[in-house]
Amino acid sequence: MSSQNSSNLEPNNKVSSTSLAATPRQLGGVDIEQELNRLEEMVLSSPHIPLTRRTIVDEEQLLDQLDLIRLHLPTVLQEAQAIAAQKQMILLQAQQQAEEIIQASLAQAAQMISEMTIVQQAELEAKKILQQAQQDCITAQEENEVEIDLIRQQTQQELNQMRQKAIAEAQAIQNGADAYADAVLGDIEQQLKDMLRVIHNGRQQLKPNVPAKGIPFDSNSGFSSSK
C-alpha cells in the first residue's frame, strides 16, 4: 500500500540551478576576459619598429581599455555575491520542499495507519520516510555550501590573475617605450657628433696652414676638449 501512494510525496515545484549559467566574469554586456583579450590584441596589432622587438602603442587607447576593465571589476564581485545569494535562496527552497516532503510523509503515514491493520508497520514506514527526507535535506545543504565556496574561490583567483596580467603588460609597454626613446636619443647624439666632425674638417681645409683658434678638437669623440 505504501508503494501506491509514494508518488504523493514528490513536490510539484523543482529547484533548478540553470539560471546560474552566467559566469561572474560577464555582467551588463561587458565580458572582462574579452576586454583583456582586446587589450592584448591592441598591443599585438600596434605597429612594430623594424629590426627590433619594439611596438608603438596608442597610449590614450591603452589607458581607456585599462579604465574599462578597472571600472567593471567591482561589478564582477557583485555578480559573484548575487550568485551566492541565489544559491542561498535555492537552499532555502530545498529546505522548504524537504519540510513539505516531511509533512506529506506524516500525512501519508497517518492515512496508512487508518487503512492498515498493523499499526506498528505504518509507524515504522513513516519514520523511515522522515529520516530519508531529513538526510536528503542535510546532503543538499552541504553540497550547496561547497559549491558556493568554490565559486567564491574561483572568482577571486580569476580577478588576481587578470590584475597581475594587466600590470605585467603595462610594465612591458613602459619598458619598451623607454628603450625606444633611449635608442632615438642615441642616434641623435651620434648624428650631432658626425656633424661636428664634418664642420671641424671643413674648417681645417679652409685654413690648412693656420691652426684653429680656441679649444682643440677631439677627433675621437667629435667634441672640443681642453687640456
CA–CA separation, 55 vs 180, rounded Å?
A: 9
Average pLDDT value over all residues in the chain = 78
Task: Give Cα 41 distance to the centre of its chain.
Answer: 17
Distance CA 148, CA 139 (A): 14
Instruction: Evaluate if residue 1 carries a pLDDT over 80.
Output: no
pLDDT-based confidence at residue 126 (cuts at 50, 70, 90): confident
What is the spatial distance between Cα 69 and Cα 24, in angstroms, rounded to a whole number?
Answer: 14
**Three-state secondary-structure class, residue 27:** strand
- Distance (Å, whole) CA 191 – CA 195: 6
Tell me the C-alpha distance between 31 and 211, whole Å: 74
pLDDT of residue 10: 45
> What's the mean pLDDT in 165-193?
92
**Mean pLDDT confidence for 99-122:** 79
* Residue with more model confidence, 77 or 101: 101
Is the confidence at residue 191, as pLDDT, over 90?
A: yes
Render the burial of 46-70: b for 16+ CB within 10 Å, e for the rest.
Answer: eeeeeeeeebebeeeebeebbeebe
Q: What is the pTM of this model?
A: 0.28
Does residue 209 sit in helix, strand or coil?
A: coil
From CA 127, how far away is CA 110, in angstroms rounded?
11
Question: pLDDT (tens digit, 9 = 90+) per residue, 42-63?
Answer: 888 888 888 888 888 888 988 9
Mean pLDDT of 26-36: 71
Confidence of residue 106 (pLDDT cuts 50, 70, 90): confident
The mean per-residue pLDDT over the stretch 82-95 comes to 89
Cell of 100: 513539505
